[in-house]
Amino acid sequence: MELSRICAPEISESSNCCQNHPPPVSELLLGGIDNSPSKNNPSNDVKQSEITPSKDSSSKTRRHKGLGSGSIQWKTITLHGKDYPQAWYHYEFWKDGDRLVKKCKYIPKRLLGRIEKLEADKAPVREILSILQLKL
């Protein structure tokens, strides 16, 4: 990065006044590369307008007791020197304070949208696993 770009004043076309602001620290350190994990997440291809904040959402914040717990987690797999993000569904079933099952299942790309919607709607874990063709 050029030193003149950091120190030289910028002229705004709209106000014609000089601004002497250095670029953001992330631009200096990363050379202008925006490397945010949340922006690189492949599930962010879904329009943000479709996903409402939890405060405004009509969906529950938790599943009913006894329906299991589960979440989608992203893992990076390296194959032939190239990184690929993969979605995995981690789930658990408990009964009387004892954990019966704790496992994870790969989510194929073709099913990812359906699984994300069911997870956002807090559908029972068994219903999500049935879509992943896993019987419990």
Residue 25 lies in a domain: no
Confidence at residue 98, expressed as pLDDT on a 0 to 100 scale: 86
User: 124 lies in which domain range?
Assistant: 62-131
Overall domain count for the chain: 1
Residue 69 has pLDDT above 80, yes or no: yes
Surface-to-core class of residue 68, CB atoms within 10 Å of its CB (0-12 exposed, 13-18 middle, 19+ buried): buried
Q: What is the pLDDT of residues 16-47, one digit of tens each?
A: 444 555 666 555 555 665 555 555 565 555 54
Q: What is the pLDDT of residues 94-121, one digit of tens each?
A: 888 888 889 999 999 999 999 999 999 8
User: pTM of the entire structure?
Assistant: 0.52
Confidence at residue 61, expressed as pLDDT on a 0 to 100 scale: 67
Helix, strand and coil percent figures for the chain, each rounded to 5: 30, 30, 40
Residue 54 lies in a domain: no
Residue 10 lies in a domain: no
Residue 122 lies in a domain: yes
Helix (H, G, I), strand (E, B) or coil at 134: coil
